Amino acid sequence: MAVRISPLRLRFPSFLVTASGSQEAATPCCGSGGGGGGGGLTARAMSSAPSPYTTLKECVSCEREIKKSKFLAVAAPISDERSAHSFLSEVRDPRATHNCWAYKLGDQYRSNDDGEPSGTAGKPIYSAIVSSGLDMVMVVVIRHFGGIKLGTGGLVRAYGGVASECLKGGTTCLVKPKAPIGIEVPFELLGTVYHQLQHFQAEDIKEDYDTGKDGVTMVTFRVEYDKIESLEDAINSACSRKIEFYKR
């Protein structure tokens, strides 16, 4: 017996609602894509999943002295632009001559020369990130001027070199992006569903009892994209009924 959910009655968690407040993206598809009303997304009709990426596992630093100038590179994994600004605020040294930086967030990137000649600091730091093959990473290189000018080429080699060396010294990890999912579950099936969620290593599991339906709770969680279909099959089999998966 399929569990059908009316989009007019269902109270969607905030992460399943689009930025404009619409719940269209969380409305289930009916059938395999034919005519019926509604064109929402279910777990099996979602857009292409984000690709796995390699990033730093933790913060790492590297210090070098080049012609009496001290260069300290500090690198860390970041999740978004906000965390990049937070990391910069945390590690920048107001006593230093320059705090130059770059970060990469998928196709989004930024760099800053912080007073060094244009293109001699931020750009080579970013090039070091690209060459490392890492993503979702920020590198800040702090320079204390030692009295000897390095010239344009010297600056490019110094900033790029210490950034590259810093990244090479860090411990890396493969990250598989996780999809936010929501499912409505009758109270009597919660134990069965939780068993499957734990088996498939779902994270951030939460319950919302304000669904507008007696004896039903909305369970939200995050799970790796390549596990969604198998998890859906496992839950449906264990519950002996179809439980709709809702994904933004």
Rounded distance between C-alpha atoms, residue 227 and residue 243, angstroms: 16
Q: What is the pLDDT of residue 248?
A: 64
Please give the CATH architecture assigned to the domain spanning 178-247: 2-Layer Sandwich (3.30)
Give the mean pLDDT of 25-32. 32
Q: Exposure of 4 by Cβ count < 10 A (0-12 exposed, 13-18 middle, 19+ buried)?
A: exposed
CATH class of 53-174: alpha beta
Q: What is the pLDDT of residue 16?
A: 45
- Backbone dihedral angles phi then psi of residue 150, each to the nearest 5 degrees: -95, -15
Same fold, 53-174 and 178-247: no
Across the range 188-204, mean pLDDT stands at 94
- Which pLDDT score, from 0 to 100, does residue 12 have? 41
Q: Using one digit for the tens of pLDDT, what is the confidence trace for 223-235?
A: 999 899 999 999 9
Q: Return the number of other C-beta atoms located less than 10 Å from residue 225's C-beta.
A: 18
Residue 210 — pLDDT band, cuts 50, 70, 90? confident
pLDDT at 7 over 70: no
What pLDDT sits at residue 51? 86
How much is the pTM? 0.70
Q: So what's the pLDDT on residue 245?
A: 86
What confidence tier does 1 reach under pLDDT thresholds 50, 70, 90? very low
d(CA 77, CA 138): 6
Q: Write out pLDDT tens, residues 46-60.
A: 456 788 999 999 999
Task: Show me where the domains of the chain are located.
Answer: 53-174, 178-247
